Structure 1
Amino acid sequence: MGEVRKLQKKLRQIETLEIKISLTAEERFKISRKAELRSRLAQLQLQLSGPQQTLGIVGDGKKEKMKRQVEKAPEALPSQMPPASKIHKGEKESKAPATPVPAARQEEEAQIGRQRERTEPAEVSDYCQDTSRHCPDFDKEQQLRQQEAEFTSLKASWEKSRFRLRLLEGHSDIVTCVVAVDNLVVSGSRDTTVKVWHVPTATEQKNLGGHTGGVTCLSAPPPEYCTRLARSLSLSTKERFILSGSADCYVKIWALNIGQCVKSIYTFNAVTALCFVPEEGGYIITGSDGGKVQAWSWHSFQNCQSVNAHQEAVTSIQSQGPLVFSGSAEGGVSVWENRCSDRDPLTLLHHWSSQVTGFRGRLGGRLTLSPRGDKVFLAYGQAWLKILHWRTGATSRVTNHSDVTGVTDCVHQTGGLLIGSCYDLANGESTLNLFSLPQCQYLVSLTWPDAPRILCFAAWTTGSGDHRWVIGGHNLTVLEQLPSSGKQRGDVTVRRDGRMDSCLESEGDTEGDEDTDDYEDDDDEGKDSRSDRAEDGGSGSWLRCVLQ
């Protein structure tokens, strides 16, 4: 297991290195060994899986051992064979041979038994209906049965779903962020551009150039706030705007219809995350590579507040009503409330460190989050999703991959679904895993040939209620759900991994929580470990790794 764990760490760092633009000779050599390391890891996993297990299936070791013992056991002797018929509950075991029962009597007893089965449950049910306030357990059981039936129906419908792929070609580097606006997709890339795409025709409509550094984040203000800004700029009230943040320390506001930048905000720090808060006059909330969270007025575009909130780069900011959630590279999460004031509008409600979230021991991590009520779903490059109850600090987790080689890069909610991306370091396979909300029960996984690692995700529904999703990473792809009544063949494989059915687990951090990304060569582990940490550079290393 020691060598397996070491290989997994090496592959994890290689996948991070591949995202960088400029590589040293040493880094290129490490990347060149990826196929060799994957092959060695597959051999070790095959050896450890055992002859009784299917390759890639992680089973219960005790059950497998018992199974092999049963298979190896000699056949029982005739004198040891159990009787052919079972002794029913309530009957006394007798050594004397049983007296044959007449067929008429057997039929009579069977009718009495069937009648008893029909009447007894009905009497209990009627009693509980008449005195429901005295039968909370019965009501709870009925509710659970209804939820299970709804989940079974939802799972069956997703197992039959079909998707068509549309590749949007135009970016010359990694796509770091995407957002959907009406029938348009807006994408930001490390190539410093923001592009606008028309999804029905899969064509590029606008190429918005103006940033001098890689684009890290995008946000779309609601229509009413766009209308307000359009009037102040003497533009059409139908104009839609998009916000972009970049490593060049600027937030730019783009008018999509005219394809121009109408406002630039200099933040003095590389912008690594942003969101729009639609409260009162509206606020732009930004996060920087140094851990700073800032608030900007949508009316005056002036800075309202600057807080050194995190120790490392802010990698995700999301809003939920007046609440703002920020997550950072060191694994911490802060929850803010917008008090809608012209000065210091954000008030810190809670801050949960990496010791609480369990995301510790990794330099240059990339945490993404998605809030829902009193919970916030967290992804941090591990084989599971974390659920943080942000008022109490309690945590639980959802299995997002059946092995520790899975890497979760992003998490998203849409239409009663929780969607987590997963990338298998061992074989390079990428999937989207779907869970039903609010129970977080596993539904299906979506994959397709040569699916890339998914770094960002956006979703919306069509007028007919079908899903359209867009994913970004090494390329930009739209997944369009096909009508169930159509005959067109889908491009996406829908499958279920039974190992993920028991997905929701109470928090009990395993050894996987302590994994680091150190690349340790067999001949000089300590030296490489120290050099890798020096290359990461500590604070803000996610920004340098992804965007330099």
Structure 2
Amino acid sequence: MGEVRKLQKKLRQIENLEIKVSLNPEERFKISKKEELRCRLAELQLQLCGLQRTPGIREADMKRAGEGAPEDLPSQAPPSSKIPKGHEEARPGLPATQRATGGSVKTTCGQRAQNVRVMSHHGRGNSEDCPERDDRGQEPAQEDVELTTLKTFWQKAKFRLRLLEGHNDIITCVLVVDNLVVSGSRDTTVKVWHVPTATEHKNLGGHTGGVTCLSAPPPEYCKKLAWSLSLSDNERFILSGSADCNVKIWALSIGQCVKSLYTFNAVTALCFVPEADGYIITGSDGGKVQAWSWRTFDNCQSINAHQEAVTSIQSQGPLVFSGSSDGGVSVWENRCTERDPLRLLHGWSGQVTGCGGGRLALSPRGDQVLLAYGWAWIKILHWITGAVSKLTNHSCITGVTDCVHQTAGLLIGSCYDVTNGESTLNLFSMPQCHYLASLTWPRAPRMLCFATWTTGSGSHRWVSGGRDLVVWEELPSSAKHRGDIIVKRNIQLESPLESEGDTEDDEDTDEHLDDYDDDDVGGGDEDYARSTGSWFRCILQ
């Protein structure tokens, strides 16, 4: 198991190298070893599948490594009209599906290693489609019926994918404004997209550093600013934060920057608080949280809130939630005053959340905050009491959760496996966090940011960003189009929420993963983060 963990760590470090803006020859050589390392890891995992119990190997490790082999997945890729020709060849190391025949699994070095896990596909005729009576002959509870209906719906979901091409670097943030998709990238640009035609609507250039975060004030606050600028009452504005220390305010209809705020620090996160006259809240790579008046654009408050980079800021009514790469989470109350509007309500360190050492993304809901922190779980923090529980988002410790999003009773978590390059979206029902289904497609890229909206008819529209910018358009169940996505179920994600006290084995495994020195790839994750600066750790917002 020592070699397995060492290979897993190497692959995780290589994934970090790949998302750097520029690479030196030594780093390029290390990246070229990725497929070789994945091949070797696949061989070791297959060997472990045949072991029953070996002294020195923990039972939990054996269970994770040898649950079973994946079922065959459909091989249909998105239509060529949706994914342009040549795009497939541009991404190195396309994944291949392992196939099990007669109880054995054959893997070649030309194929990507697949995580060894059990998948079960449910379709029409499955017992879940028709709720049965319990042992006492009684009808199932209404909650169970609703959950079964949800599972059935998502097991039959169809989406068409549209690739939006134009950025020449990683997409770090996305949002939706009036059915327009807005994206920010490390290429320093903000782009506005017309979804029906999948074309670029506006290119907002002006930042001199990578764009790290986006936010959109509500229409009533846009109207106030438009009036002061003698623009149309229907004008919509967006905010963009950048590593160049600026927050820019853009008017979408004219595609121009109407105001720029210099913060003296690389901006790594921001949000708009629609309370009183409105406030812009920003976070920096040094851990500072600042408040800016929407009426005067003056700096109202500066707080040294976190020890490391602020990687996520979200608002919920008058409350503001900030998360840091050190794992800390702070909850602020907006008192709607001209000076010092933010008052700290609760602050929880990385020792409490267990999320230190990576980019922390958060999504608040009531008295809970959902946390994605670069490992295989989504954590749920009760921000009043400090209680923490875990929701499994990947069946192996090599899974990476980059973003978590809530919409219309759904919890959506992105999942990327560093050992095989497989990327999925996992869907859970809220608020109980029951697992529903997983969505993916062949050669799906790593998804680092996510946004959702609905059409007038109630259909889902999603957009995911990372190496690619992809729009997901829900198709009606009666549509003849088969859809571009693959819907599958992972039974290992159906476990209930676990409190932190029940998951010591998993945390211990995480620690072991970082115990090995890596001469082939370089130092540990912390050494790598120090060498690239805190901006790198928080740029993937």
Q: 8 Å contact 1:17–1:545 — kept in the other structure? A: no
Query: Which residue number in structure 2 is paired with residue 353 of structure 1?
Result: 349
- State yes or no: 1:465 paired with 2:461: no
Q: 8 Å contact 1:519–1:529 — kept in the other structure? A: no
- State yes or no: 1:280 paired with 2:273: no
In structure 2, C-alpha distance between the alignment counterparts of 1:60 and 1:284, rounded to whole Å: 44
Q: By percentage of residues, which structure has more helix?
A: 1
In structure 1, C-alpha distance between the alignment counterparts of 2:450 and 2:506, rounded to whole Å: 25
Q: Report the Cα offset of residue 4 of structure 1.
A: 1.2
Equivalent position to 1:500, from 493, 506, 510: 493
Q: Report the Cα offset of residue 28 of structure 1.
A: 2.2
Q: Report the Cα offset of residue 49 of structure 1.
A: 1.5
In structure 2, C-alpha distance between the alignment counterparts of 1:307 and 1:62, rounded to whole Å: 48
Query: Which residue number in structure 2 is paired with residue 513 of structure 1?
Result: 507
In structure 2, C-alpha distance between the alignment counterparts of 1:503 and 1:442, rounded to whole Å: 9
Q: Report the Cα offset of residue 146 of structure 1.
A: 1.3
Query: Which residue number in structure 2 is paired with residue 176 of structure 1?
Result: 172
Q: 8 Å contact 1:520–1:528 — kept in the other structure? A: no
C-alpha change, 1:406 and 1:308, in structure 2 (3 Å) is same
Query: Which residue number in structure 2 is paired with residue 21 of structure 1?
Result: 21
C-alpha change, 1:221 and 1:540, in structure 2 (3 Å) is farther
Larger Rg: 1
Query: What pairs with 1:441-452 in structure 2 (closer than 5 Å)?
Result: 441-452=434-445
Deviations 1:379-430 (A, max 9, x none): 0000010000000000001100011111000000011000000001111000
Q: Report the Cα offset of residue 245 of structure 1.
A: 0.1
In structure 2, C-alpha distance between the alignment counterparts of 1:376 and 1:539, rounded to whole Å: 29
C-alpha change, 1:60 and 1:198, in structure 2 (3 Å) is closer
Query: Which residue number in structure 1 is paired with residue 379 of structure 2?
Result: 386
In structure 2, C-alpha distance between the alignment counterparts of 1:466 and 1:481, rounded to whole Å: 6
User: SS state of the match for residue 258, structure 2?
Assistant: strand
User: Which amino acid in the other structure matches residue 32 of structure 2?
Assistant: S
User: Which amino acid in the other structure matches residue 401 of structure 2?
Assistant: T
Query: Which residue number in structure 1 is paired with residue 45 of structure 2?
Result: 45
C-alpha change, 1:511 and 1:34, in structure 2 (3 Å) is farther
Q: 8 Å contact 1:10–1:520 — kept in the other structure? A: no
Query: Which residue number in structure 1 is paired with residue 147 of structure 2?
Result: 151
In structure 2, C-alpha distance between the alignment counterparts of 1:352 and 1:539, rounded to whole Å: 27
- Tell me which moved more, 481-490 or 513-522: 513-522
Query: Which residue number in structure 1 is paired with residue 329 of structure 2?
Result: 333
Query: Which residue number in structure 2 is paired with residue 412 of structure 1?
Result: 405
User: SS state of the match for residue 317, structure 1?
Assistant: strand
In structure 2, C-alpha distance between the alignment counterparts of 1:152 and 1:459, rounded to whole Å: 24
Q: Report the Cα offset of residue 200 of structure 1.
A: 1.1
Identity %: 73
User: Which amino acid in the other structure matches residue 302 of structure 1?
Assistant: D
C-alpha change, 1:145 and 1:195, in structure 2 (3 Å) is same
Q: Unaligned stretches of 5+ in structure 2?
A: 54-60, 69-135
Q: 8 Å contact 1:312–1:540 — kept in the other structure? A: no
Query: Which residue number in structure 2 is paired with residue 116 of structure 1?
Result: none
User: SS state of the match for residue 149, structure 2?
Assistant: helix
Q: Report the Cα offset of residue 47 of structure 1.
A: 0.9
Query: What pairs with 1:282-321 in structure 2 (closer than 5 Å)?
Result: 282-321=278-317
Query: Which residue number in structure 1 is paired with residue 479 of structure 2?
Result: 486
Q: Unaligned stretches of 5+ in structure 1?
A: 65-120, 126-141
Q: Report the Cα offset of residue 36 of structure 1.
A: 1.2
When normalised by structure 2's length, the TM-score is: 0.81
- State yes or no: 1:217 paired with 2:210: no
User: SS state of the match for residue 537, structure 1?
Assistant: helix
- State yes or no: 1:254 paired with 2:247: no
- State yes or no: 1:421 paired with 2:417: no
Q: Report the Cα offset of residue 538 of structure 1.
A: 7.5
User: SS state of the match for residue 141, structure 2?
Assistant: helix
Query: Which residue number in structure 1 is paired with residue 263 of structure 2?
Result: 267
In structure 1, C-alpha distance between the alignment counterparts of 2:296 and 2:345, rounded to whole Å: 26
User: SS state of the match for residue 463, structure 1?
Assistant: coil
Q: 8 Å contact 1:162–1:490 — kept in the other structure? A: yes
Deviations 1:481-534 (A, max 9, x none): 001122112000011111111142122343543636869566x59x9437x644
User: Which amino acid in the other structure matches residue 510 of structure 1?
Assistant: E
Q: 8 Å contact 1:20–1:545 — kept in the other structure? A: no
Q: 8 Å contact 1:272–1:543 — kept in the other structure? A: no
